Chains A and B, each alone.
Chain A
Amino acid sequence: MGTFFDALLKLWESSGFCQLFNFANGGWKNCIMIVIAFILLYLAIKKEFEPMLLLPIAFGMLLCNLPLAGIMDPQQNSLVPMTAEEVTHYLAGINDQVYPVFEMNGQYFWQHFEQGGVLWYLYQGVKFGIYPPLIFLGIGCMTDFGPLISNPKSLLLGAAAQLGIATTFLGAIALNGLGIEGVQFSFKEAASIGIIGGADGPTAIFLTSKLAPHLLGAIAVAAYSYMALVPIIQPPIMKLLTTKKERSIKMEQLRPVSKTQKILFPIFVTLICVLLLPDAASLVGMLMLGNLFKESGVVDRLSKTAQNDLMNIITIFLGTTVGATANAETFLQPKTLLIIMLGLLAFSFGTAGGVLCAKLMNLFSKKKVNPLIGSAGVSAVPMAARVSQKVGQQENPDNFLLMHAMGPNVAGVIGSAVAAGVLLTLFG
């Protein structure tokens, strides 16, 4: 009977439950992370907050916080010196070990190899900056730059909305002065937090994986959560910074854009951006390659694959592995809470920057711009443009701002990629 209970006890001790409920050994941290994963799953499934990414992120978070699962454990390679007897056997051609042999300066070693978790292997695509540019390829295939080409001034609104990145970067550095214990942001960390203001998930992940990979989980969760909350965050700021008269401005119909212009656009954007900022090549280049696939009309198969199958596969890999970086040790830090707060600041300032830039343009331009379209400069395609349309129609039901707002919206994608390139150049 005793043996039976001993076996049961041994089974219990080797289980994840034992580790999870071993609060003295830090199991409570995993419990908190699992609760956070449940909350994110609820938001993704029930509230449909950016479910395409929040769901895999939340599930990745859940997986990596289950003790002993080892799904995110790195691959282990080590060299173990061979004993004299083993060397003799090896030289005599008797090698009954499964490990390969490594010889260095006359010494012999066993090359021990421990396989990593499946998500660790998939994470290499994030670590080496492969997934975000592939996502950009798909985004490029789905994006119509027509409204932007039709109204080139939209690019300025897209640039102004990057103000959120700059202010959040400064905000993170300023927090160092508060002397909060365990909160000291380096330039690299501050730049990674600032890029949340770009409201562009792949860009945020790309830059963070290069500059501050330990903050990847927190920054991805903050970026995607706030992107989902754009319809709640932006309208009060837009209304606060504009008058009723400004919100009612009707804009002229966009001029038609020829096919040639649409084809030349990605080529010229690539040339200028990549020559100016080589570090932005992977993001801008892939975005524009995707767009050229679409606009050229000669590679429909590639375009369809990039915007559907490839994009979906990469989204699964990216979301799950980014979520799996949010383990208890790295996520449950005071910094995470501050990153979440700074992310809100980033979105708010980005929105304000776009709206104020549109107001500034109205001072010098004969053709008036509805300042509401400025808020769409914070990427978050097409949610931010829809918000501009909705708020505009609240003032004037006959006002259709959606296509006008798509200009700054897609300009924001280019702007945030360029901003990421600058930050990578400055701090990479």
Chain B
Amino acid sequence: VKLAWEPVPPVRANAVPAASLAILVLGLLAVAGAAGVVRGVGFTLRPSPASERGGSTGPVLVVDVEADGATRVQGASVPRERIADAARLERDRSPGALVVLRVDPEASYASMVEVAAALLASGADPSDPSAVSRLAVTTARP
């Protein structure tokens, strides 16, 4: 018996459909994961009640939110859209200062969140020596 022989070509997986399927599954998982993620302003609560100075003995930068939504930085009136810039300037003078956000109890929750987000965003770059690393939120004294 004389059998013909020829080498079997190397087995190659049909990678394109497999990749498509993998991407599809990955996409489904990503969509499912993204749907469950909530975005917002993040805080860490201190175990002890915050004082007006946040327990800090160092320099403090006080940002006030008044009942009508007006904002102040170190007592000086500053438009809300310029809060981040003003805070950055003040922190340049006192690097590492604790930023205390003092909110009037009658102010709206939205006012507080907007100012807190602006302050945090102003120091979002970790390489920025004046970055907001410590932020305390307290209510203004009535």
A and B together in one complex: no
